Amino acid sequence: MAVTLTDIQREIHRLSEELIQRQEPDGTWRFCFENGITLDACTIILLRTLNADQEELIRQLHDRILAAQEPEGCWRWYRDDGEGHLSATVEAYYALLFSGFSRPEDEALQRAKRYILERGGIGQAKSLLTKAILAATGQRAWPSSLSLIPIEILLLPESFPLNFYDFSGYSRVHLVPLLIMAERNFRARTARTPDLSELFSSDRDPDEEGLLRSPESREALDQIQSALAHLVGTPRRIRQAAIHKAERYLLDRIESDGTLYTYASCTVLMVFALLALGYEAQHPVIQRAVEGLSNMKFTVDGSDLGESGYGYITIQNSPSTVWDTALISYALQEGGTVATHPAIRRSAAYLRDRQHHRAGDWQIHNPGVLPGGWGFSETNTFVPDVDDTTAALRALAALHTDDHATLDAWNRGLNWVWSMQNHDGGWPAFEKNTDKVMLTWLAIEGAKSAATDPSEADLTGRTLEYLGNFAKLGIRHDWVARGADWLLSHQQEDGSWYGRWGICYIYGTWAALTGLMAVGMPADHPAVIKGADWLGSIQNADGGWGESCRSDQARRFVPLRASTPSQTAWALDALIAVHDQPTPELERGAARLIELLHEDGWPASYPTGAGLPGYFYTHYHSYRYIWPLLALAHYVNKYGDGAP
């Protein structure tokens, strides 16, 4: 269909009105941060192991998992997830059985069982979280890769060339409980624990064994062992000191809601680790953790789901309230909602209250800087990240010049973002200069993507976009120019950029192009032309854009063969930033985006958020509002009758 400015303005108005109506009285927007069935399954397994009185929640999570099973008997992370996902299927099967609401002879479990056995049994599940849950509940041995990382690594001073704080923050909070449990060879079985032994042909993992024998893995482990040789004391005393430090590490990072780092995944592991240390199931710390985990549930209304049509309860890994609130407030303002509107004022007050004032682990690599960032979740008080901080600052931009409280928040936030720039010129997610490649060689599944927190194109591009469009800084400033140079040096041969936290090359290319244009890169720069041409080359026949989650494993663009609202909006927004006048591809993209917003097929719920390649993907329920509104607003602001 042909699209007119009137069509686009009508859609902006519709989206804006719906979002304003959905705002909560406290100024927030609360959408589901959906992460497949893994956390639902892990929560059931934990609650049953603790004999927790949570029958209603267990039943709700059971029903959600069961409804997501595919006809082949498997579970998938996303629609085109090959022949299914073995780790997710193992987790689902185990949780359904452990819940007590499904029986081994049920047809659904029989199909799942056949699927698992046909793929070599439970021992072939690759996810470290899956292996850990199975080991913690006595179903398999602890992975040998964990036993080769001594828990004494926690005792190494931060001044050592290789130490525990060289791991990324999000890997540390998962690694510590794993090291505690592996050291204790912990196994928690109850009278209700199912016996999965018939589903094991072997718990040998040939891939893990190959990694353990690799020269790179051996070099990393040798470096750790060499550093540990400097510790003074008897082996027994050193081991006890390390275990005590590991325990303190966990306890010191529990938020007010009882969760560890506000992540459900590491909270589950923490509870098992505390049990391994001798804590009783009724201990207040464990009870608060369970309560916090339970409060991470989200009730998805069936009326919002299009073709799937049923409502369900799911456990979010980390509720996205701050992220969604900041982005929606910003998108509304770009769409014409004035900063004095009550919805914007309420969201600004909420965001100011959520700015961090507590010290955090990020200061280890960035000392002497005052807290000033924002985190992803409402209860997050000391784990800020660059992307959430720039999102909050965009939302506050129109208010910071005439409101003292907002100006103070703005200045502290901008200073924090500036301070987080890596030595190489790019920006990380959580911690500065946490990029020692050696740690990615460890024989731990996911280490390549999770062990470090390096500069990324999406984070660097988004930061530059904020600095250029909102802080009015450009490549004439040395540190901004260094960020732009980092992006230029990390462009792929085909013109795209890889995005770490979204899917994937569309996401990274959008962030890079909008960032470069915002800080003053000319539209005729070869890198800009190449990036825009690449986006044009992958546009679908229907005018939209879509990319498969498989891209992050293949490390190349894999087309989805369908258009999604968020990816279409990202591509459209990038091209708007580059082109002075609407092009045919832009007009087709805008028309298709509007169509997508009125369709309820599977592309509307396809996950376009990335967590861990191959193992963790996110469907942000907010994304079909945020990014389309933003792209359409930018279209009108640039090409409309009243545009400058």
* Residue 603: per-residue pLDDT: 96
- Count of domains forming the chain: 2
* Residue 160: per-residue pLDDT: 80
Considering the domain architecture, whether residues 255 and 326 belong to the same structural domain is answered as no
Per the structure, the complete domain to which residue 71 belongs is given by 34-300
Q: Is the pLDDT of residue 212 over 70?
A: no
Considering the domain architecture, whether residues 479 and 626 belong to the same structural domain is answered as yes
Look over the chain and give the mean of its residue pLDDT values, rounded to a whole number: 93
Q: Which amino acid is at 612?
A: L
Alpha-carbon gap, residue 624 to 104, rounded angstroms: 39
295 occurs within a structural domain: yes
- Of 232, 265, 300, the residue that ends a domain is 300
Q: What are the C-alpha distances in Å from 142 to residues 135, 225, 236, 266, 358?
A: 5, 20, 21, 17, 36
Whether this model's pTM surpasses 0.85: yes
Taking only the tens place, the pLDDT of each residue in 281-334 is 999 999 999 999 999 999 998 655 444 456 899 999 999 999 999 999 999 999
452 occurs within a structural domain: yes
Considering the domain architecture, whether residues 143 and 9 belong to the same structural domain is answered as no
Considering the domain architecture, whether residues 361 and 351 belong to the same structural domain is answered as yes
Catalytic: 408? Answer: no
Taking only the tens place, the pLDDT of each residue in 192-203 is 999 999 999 865
DSSP conformational letter for 104: T
Considering the domain architecture, whether residues 275 and 403 belong to the same structural domain is answered as no
Considering the domain architecture, whether residues 119 and 252 belong to the same structural domain is answered as yes
310 occurs within a structural domain: no
Considering the domain architecture, whether residues 268 and 331 belong to the same structural domain is answered as no
Considering the domain architecture, whether residues 41 and 106 belong to the same structural domain is answered as yes
Q: Is the pLDDT of residue 159 over 50?
A: yes
61 occurs within a structural domain: yes
306 occurs within a structural domain: no
Alpha-carbon gap, residue 604 to 291, rounded angstroms: 32
Q: Is the pLDDT of residue 166 over 60?
A: yes
Considering the domain architecture, whether residues 283 and 426 belong to the same structural domain is answered as no
Taking only the tens place, the pLDDT of each residue in 374-385 is 999 999 999 999
Tell which residue, 96, 89, 72, 73, has the closest CA to residue 36: 89
634 occurs within a structural domain: yes
Spatial CB neighbours of 219, under 8 Å, sequence gap ≥ 6: 438, 441
Considering the domain architecture, whether residues 20 and 72 belong to the same structural domain is answered as no
Taking only the tens place, the pLDDT of each residue in 474-519 is 999 999 999 999 999 999 999 999 999 999 999 999 999 999 999 9
DSSP string across 269-318: HHHHHHHHTT--TT-HHHHHHHHHHHTTEEEE-GGGSTTS---EEEE-SS
Tokens of 388: 């959430």
Q: What percent of the chain has pLDDT over 90?
A: 85
Asked whether 386 and 346 are in contact (CB, 8 A), the reply is no
Residue corresponding to tokens 């005052």: 370
Considering the domain architecture, whether residues 337 and 468 belong to the same structural domain is answered as yes
305 occurs within a structural domain: no
Q: Is the pLDDT of residue 343 over 80?
A: yes
510 occurs within a structural domain: yes
Mean of the pLDDT values across residues 545-555? Answer: 96
Considering the domain architecture, whether residues 14 and 66 belong to the same structural domain is answered as no
Mean of the pLDDT values across residues 78-100? Answer: 96
- CATH number for position 92: 1.50.10.20
Give the residue, 107 or 614, on which the prediction is more confident: 107
Mean of the pLDDT values across residues 591-595? Answer: 98
Q: Is the pLDDT of residue 225 over 80?
A: no
Give the residue, 87 or 449, on which the prediction is more confident: 87
Mean of the pLDDT values across residues 604-624? Answer: 95
Catalytic residue among 40, 385, 387, 388: 387
- Of 243, 271, 300, the residue that ends a domain is 300
Asked whether 315 and 264 are in contact (CB, 8 A), the reply is yes
Tokens of 183: 């050291």
- Of 300, 329, 362, the residue that ends a domain is 300
Residue 414 CB-half CA count within 13 A: 19
* Residue 216: per-residue pLDDT: 62
What values do phi and psi take at 268, rounded to 5?
A: -60, -45
